[in-house]
Structure 1
Amino acid sequence: MNKTKKMMVGVLSTLMAASLAACSDESLPPKPKDQDCDDWEWDSATGTYVCDDEDSSYHRHYYYGGHYYPSKRKLQRSAAYKSYQQSTEFKAKAKSGIGSGTKGSFFGG
């Protein structure tokens, strides 16, 4: 293998490793510890977790501030969530993550 090919393999390997690191969920907030749901999915649009436990009565409910919301609309009508939406924390979390179209600086993707 000539020097150019070796260099390109090294560069591509580095880029792939960096991409994978950026997509980790290390920078997401900790998943809720709630006995009513064992599987959580991050929803970057709302900046909250959604219960993805098919055996839970809260399956597909949004979780914020210790409460479950059966729909995005109910979540968005919550006074606590409205306050959260105005925060810089929300703006950083909701705008990053897998599929959000932005790099995950505060919140990995």
Structure 2
Amino acid sequence: MSKTNKVMTGIISTAFLLNLAACNNDTEDEYTSTQSQNIPDPPKDSNCSQWEWDEDDGGWECEDRHSHYYGHYFYGGRYYSSKSDLYKSSNYKKPSSSRNSSVQSGSSSETSKSVKRSSGFGSGSKSYGG
């Protein structure tokens, strides 16, 4: 292997490793920014054991496929069978653009078992290249 090939292999390897390190930092920043938002705790309700935060609507959606409430929205201590029903509710307030919602998480005697937070379509990792 010529000296030029060795140098090029070293440069490419270094660039690849630096790119990997940058990806890890992006993931940490994304996690920190999600945690810094004022997202209320998931509902503590025995009717659903898995929740997903809907950032756009400021409420929780039941993701427990074994629950009667699968696909229902939880807001202000009540279940809503659809987004339309949630929007029609007199106690629903659309979150402000700053994402600091006035959502009430509700309560019950059992703690939540699993929570999945998402920020919607297109929230995957960023990639830069040339």
TM score, norm. by length of structure 1 = 0.66
In structure 1, C-alpha distance between the alignment counterparts of 2:86 and 2:33, rounded to whole Å? 23
SS, match of residue 81 in structure 1 = coil
Identity of aligned residues (%): 30
Q: Distance in 2 between matches of 1:81 and 1:64?
A: 8
Q: CA deviation at 1:99?
A: 2.2
RMSD: 3.2
- Alpha-carbon distance in 2 for matches of 1:99, 1:78: 26
Aligned positions of 1:53-92 closer than 5 A: 53-82=64-93, 84-86=94-96, 88=98, 89-90=100-101
Structure 1 portions without partners, runs of 5+? 91-95, 104-109
Distance (Å, rounded) in 1 between the aligned partners of 2:33 and 2:120: 9
| Alpha-carbon offset, residue 100 of structure 1 | 5.3
2:49 match: 38
Question: 1:99 matched to which residue of 2?
Answer: 121
Number of equivalenced pairs: 97
**Distance in 2 between residues matched to 1:17 and 1:29, nearest whole Å:** 27
Which letter does structure 2 place at the counterpart of 1:85? P
Decide which structure has greater helix share.
1
Q: Measure how far apart 1:52 and its partner are.
A: 1.1
Q: Residues 29, 12 of structure 1: CA spacing in aligned structure 2 closer, same or farther, 3 A cutoff?
A: farther
Instruction: Indicate the larger mover: 13-22 or 71-80.
Output: 13-22
Conserved 8 A contact 2:48-2:64? yes
TM-score, normalised to structure 2, is: 0.57
Match of 1:17 among 10, 20, 24: 24
Structure with greater Cα Rg: 2
Consecutive unaligned residues in structure 2, runs of 5 or more: 1-5, 102-117, 126-130
